[in-house]
Amino acid sequence: MINSMILDLNRNGSAIRAMFEEGAKMAKEFGRENVYDYSLGNPSVVPPQEIRDTLLDIVANEDENVLHGYMNNAGFEDVRTAVADHLNAMYGTAFTSRNILMTVGAAGGLNVILKTLLNPGDEVITFAPFFGEYRNYVRNYGGVLVTAATDPETFLPVPAVLAEAITPRTKALIINTPNNPTGVVYPESLIIEIAKVLEEKQKEFGTSVYLISDEPYRELVYDGVTVPYLTKYYRNTVVGYSYSKSLSLPGERIGYLVLPDELTDADEIIPGAAAANRILGFVNAPSLIQKTVGRCLDAKVDVEIYNRNRELLYGKLTEYGFSCIKPQGAFYLFVKAPDGDDKAFVAAAKKHRILMVAGTGFGGPGYVRLAYCVSYDMIERSLPGFAALAQEYGLR
């Protein structure tokens, strides 16, 4: 028998990935222009021009054995220093290269920090709905994912519910703002309350509860909203960042962890995370793209393109009678299944060649996720299908 967790995944794999594969098949059958695939968070906006220019420059001019060679498991020293300096300039923090571990995307970074922190049986809390992979990442290290419900009207965490969920076995809380799948951004006042709960519970139980902030969508915000930098609110904060969305480079697998000196056990965690990066088989973040992002720290994709998509899709869906919070970040809409059955809603949409993902996999049954990191044109072409769906559900 092969690994039991992998057997489970073969039976009940990623709904997102399954839909992505199905979309590719349907595109072959009906033509790509007739399939409206909202399943995967695969950025549609091109990377900033600076990325292409920098790649060309580095490949043409750098010493190849350095550029493509092994470096410290934590990453190139110059890149780590540049990232630390950039964070300090943006957020008034005081990081050095020691606090930055370059990772194979945010998924790599989360696995590294969970491997570093968890012993079997440790609990990790997250707020539902949540990115379904957290369940796998935590289980990889023998941990137990515990979900804390959010306010059903706002999808914002409820401090009292969090307090209730923390036990002496709680090792970490993963938060994700801007949020996948809801698109909500937690306001500063809420961050302060969450930090207070964590402090109190650490004291009550005599434990360390690490706040792991999963931030691939930090730069994708709308309406002038700001995303608080969490290390400033709570000492035991680890930040996991990815350039997948901010620079449209998800396939390149590049991101970093911030491991502040203020962490309890920082002197074990910082070298331990570099060791985890090595032994999990990442070894180091890919070198050429690592050098490249290190030189493009101020670059950003054109967020206005996603904003136009958001306005169009949100506007039309609500006009048709669907219910949905207007997201302030990321590139997802989390739409209520009109009759509460998300799987049936996904199936009904598929008849109109609209692909979306059931909320059940995100711990948010009764909703579906639409990733609007697609072309404006595709959204427009999909609208008759949504209108017909609304009619089928008696919404108009």
Binding residues among 275-294 for its own copies as defined by CB under 8 A:
275-276, 278-290
Of 243, 253, 213, 248, the closest CA to residue 131 belongs to: 213
Alpha-carbon span 46 to 23, nearest angstrom? 21
Q: Is 124 in the site for its own copies (CB under 8 A)?
A: no
In the window 5-24, what residues touch its own copies (CB under 8 A)? Answer: 6-7, 9-10, 13-14, 17, 20-21
**Nearest CB to its own copies, comparing residues 104 and 324:** 104
Q: Taking CB under 8 A as the rule, which mask of x and - marks residues 348-387 in contact with its own copies?
A: ----------------------------------------
Residue 52, token pair as written in the block: 């292409």
Compute how many residues bind its own copies; rule: CB under 8 A: 79
Q: Is 108 in the site for its own copies (CB under 8 A)?
A: yes
Alpha-carbon span 214 to 53, nearest angstrom? 29
Member of 4, 29, 92, 394 binding its own copies (CB under 8 A)? 4
Taking the complex as a whole, the smallest distance from the CB of residue 332 to its own copies amounts, in Å, to 15
Sign of CA dihedral 60, 64, 68, 70: negative
Member of 22, 27, 59, 205 binding its own copies (CB under 8 A)? 59
Q: Is 160 in the site for its own copies (CB under 8 A)?
A: no
**Nearest CB to its own copies, comparing residues 9 and 90:** 9
Taking the complex as a whole, the smallest distance from the CB of residue 277 to its own copies amounts, in Å, to 10
Q: Is 173 in the site for its own copies (CB under 8 A)?
A: no
Alpha-carbon span 330 to 371, nearest angstrom? 9
Of 206, 203, 127, the closest CA to residue 165 belongs to: 127
**Nearest CB to its own copies, comparing residues 4 and 226:** 4
Member of 19, 26, 71, 162 binding its own copies (CB under 8 A)? 71
Inter-axis angle of helices 287-294 and 49-61, to 10 degrees? 120
Cis previous bond, 178, omega within 30:
yes
In the window 218-257, what residues touch its own copies (CB under 8 A)? Answer: 248-254
Cis previous bond, 181, omega within 30:
yes
**Nearest CB to its own copies, comparing residues 46 and 94:** 46
Judge whether 161 and 149 are in contact, CB under 8 Å.
yes
Member of 19, 104, 194, 358 binding its own copies (CB under 8 A)? 104
Q: What residues does 150 pair with on adjacent strands?
A: 157
Q: Is 28 in the site for its own copies (CB under 8 A)?
A: no
Specify the 3-state DSSP secondary structure of 3: coil
Q: How far is CA 98 from CA 232, 249, 267, in A?
A: 18, 25, 11
Member of 35, 95, 100, 115 binding its own copies (CB under 8 A)? 115
In sequence order, what are the residues at sequence separation of 6 or more whose Cβ sits closer than 8 angstroms to the Cβ of residue 181?
A: 129, 131, 332, 334, 357, 359, 362, 364, 367, 369
In the window 324-353, what residues touch its own copies (CB under 8 A)? Answer: none
Q: Is 189 in the site for its own copies (CB under 8 A)?
A: no
Judge whether 140 and 116 are in contact, CB under 8 Å.
no
In the window 35-54, what residues touch its own copies (CB under 8 A)? Answer: 40, 42-44, 46-47, 51-52
